[in-house]
Amino acid sequence: MDLGLTDRVYVLTGASRGLGYATAQCLVADGARVVLSARHSDSVESAVAGLGGPDRAVGVTADLTHPETPERLLAAAQRHFGRVDGALVSVGGPPAGSAASVDDEQWRQSFETVFLGSVRTVRTVAAALPEGGAIALVLSTSARGPVPGLGISNGLRPGLAGVAKDVADEYGPRGVRVVGLLPGRILTDRNRELFAATGDPDRARAEAEAGIPLRRIGDPAEFGRVAAFVLSPAASYLTGVTVPVDGGALRGL
């Protein structure tokens, strides 16, 4: 199936590694061009090189807590590729810990980055997209059910899912789509860190896999392919929903 991605342009935040980078790889492999951002210039440069260089990808060193970041990404897309067709909004996972154990400063910093930074980016990009544009937010299965030990994520991700639905309603009449993606256990650096934090990463991974119907941790490319489809014209009647990419771990219908 042709996804219709050839020469389309997408901006991706938090995309120097993990799920954002996996999505960028899938988009570029199907003919799209990307503008990716992350906080560290060396990782941005490495990601751009891995995606094929400036003919296919350009990088912006930026932090979502800075209000000007979304406009910088849009400007880079227009300057280098002459258009923008959509965005993947992804941020690093907030600190681990139960909701009652993390302190005010951790909540405040996570709200600025995970929540407000994402909302600002969605709002700014959605207003600039033409008919047929699409935005995908990388959320978490915690948007539908709390994940033990991830209290901040459990608090913020459901709110972002609600924002995505609200924005989808507002921009739908213009032909702009907004979808939330709910990754479960995917073998990213973040999940490696969470497994390691238990003191017995092999046991932690085995226990996690036992709760997944497919009985394995997902590969980032498996998420990337779903995200690329959601952002593509092939998914033109898909909006205002959250899509789990979790191997069947969520039990709701």
Convert 165-189 to b/e letters by CB count within 10 Å (16 or more is b): bebbeebeeeebbbbbbbbbbbbbe
User: Which pLDDT value is given to residue 126?
Assistant: 96
User: Which pLDDT value is given to residue 63?
Assistant: 92
Low-confidence ranges of the chain (pLDDT < 50): none
CA 230, 234, 236, 238 torsion-angle sign? negative
User: Which pLDDT value is given to residue 189?
Assistant: 84
Share of the chain above pLDDT 90, in %: 87
Token pair recorded at residue 236: 């033109």
User: Which pLDDT value is given to residue 49?
Assistant: 97
pLDDT in tens, 22-52: 999 999 999 999 999 999 999 999 999 999 9
CA 57, 61, 64, 67 torsion-angle sign? negative
CA distances from 232 to 30, 134, 172, 250 (A): 10, 8, 16, 25
pLDDT in tens, 162-196: 999 999 999 999 999 999 999 999 998 888 888 88
Using CA atoms in the order 209, 215, 220, 222, what is the torsion angle rounded to 10 degrees? -160
Angle between helices 220-231 and 18-29 (to 10 degrees): 60
Q: In this structure, are residues 152 and 94 in contact, taking their beta carbons and an 8 Å threshold?
A: yes
Domains and CATH numbers, the chain: 9-245 (3.40.50.720)
Q: How many helices and strands in the chain, by DSSP H and E? A: 9, 7
